[in-house]
């Protein structure tokens, strides 16, 4: 019977996600990971294989948690309520590794290299876009927004604005709360009256 590893794999992936999210791909060495995750090179290799394999797991976790968070929010507040609440939640999140979206950061950093992690991040941005599109569709099906809107188009603009907001939220010279509130007002304005 194989010995159970003495580490919590999911916790290590979450920790690695935070390091990659903060420092980026090029800014994180295998040595950084081994030291911060407190794994010897042999254990790191046995657990994850390589830095890139661990980065891929971190991206998956980031996407999975983001989609789950939006869905929970939609159960609480309804689809339009969730879309409206999300901008301020992003700005007010307590002490994230970075306010910039990890998918967007990875996509932008590695695109010039044609790196497969950039393709993965791009695909996850597409899945996140589907999640937003589904929420706009549900809002439309419930009659919360008019039938003349195109949910896919609204979702693409919304995701784009959120990516900009998350970059703005890392700046000291910009009132990101005001931007978040203006994005939320745009969502409110869609509401069918």
Instruction: Give dist(CA 16, CA 36) in Å, integer.
Output: 8
Proportion of the chain in helix, strand, coil states, percent, rounded to 5: 75, 0, 25
Instruction: Give dist(CA 180, CA 177) in Å, integer.
Output: 5
Q: How far is the CB of 149 from its own copies (least distance, A)?
A: 11
Q: Is 148 in the site for its own copies (CB under 8 A)?
A: no
Binding test (CB under 8 A) with its own copies, winner from 67, 156, 184, 190: 156
Name the residue among 110, 21, 107 with its Cα closest to residue 58. 21
Binding test (CB under 8 A) with its own copies, winner from 107, 132, 138, 187: 107
Nearer to its own copies, 57 or 163 (CB): 163
Instruction: Give dist(CA 40, CA 45) in Å, integer.
Output: 9
Nearer to its own copies, 153 or 191 (CB): 153
Instruction: List residues binding its own copies (CB under 8 A).
Output: 22-24, 26-27, 97-98, 100, 104-105, 107-109, 111-113, 122, 125-126, 129, 153, 156-157, 159-165, 167-168, 170-176, 178-179, 182-183, 186
């Amino acid at each position: 019977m194989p010995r159970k590893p003495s580490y919590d794999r999911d916790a290590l992936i979450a920790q690695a996600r935070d390091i990659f999210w903060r420092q980026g791909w090029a800014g994180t060495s295998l040595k950084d990971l081994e030291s911060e995750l407190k794994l010897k090179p042999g254990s790191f290799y046995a657990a994850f294989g390589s830095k890139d394999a661990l980065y891929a797991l971190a991206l998956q976790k980031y996407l999975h948690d983001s989609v789950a968070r939006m869905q929970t929010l939609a159960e609480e507040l309804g689809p339009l309520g969730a879309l409206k609440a999300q901008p301020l939640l992003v700005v007010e999140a307590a002490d994230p590794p970075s306010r910039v979206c990890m998918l967007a950061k990875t996509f932008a950093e590695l695109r010039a290299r044609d790196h497969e992690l950039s393709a993965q991040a791009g695909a996850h941005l597409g899945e996140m876009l589907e999640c937003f599109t589904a929420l706009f569709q549900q809002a439309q099906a419930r009659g919360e927004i008019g039938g003349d809107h195109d949910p896919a188009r609204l979702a693409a603009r919304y995701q784009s604005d959120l990516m900009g907001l998350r970059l703005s939220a890392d700046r000291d010279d910009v009132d990101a709360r005001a931007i978040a509130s203006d994005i939320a007002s745009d969502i409110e304005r869609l509401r069918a009256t």
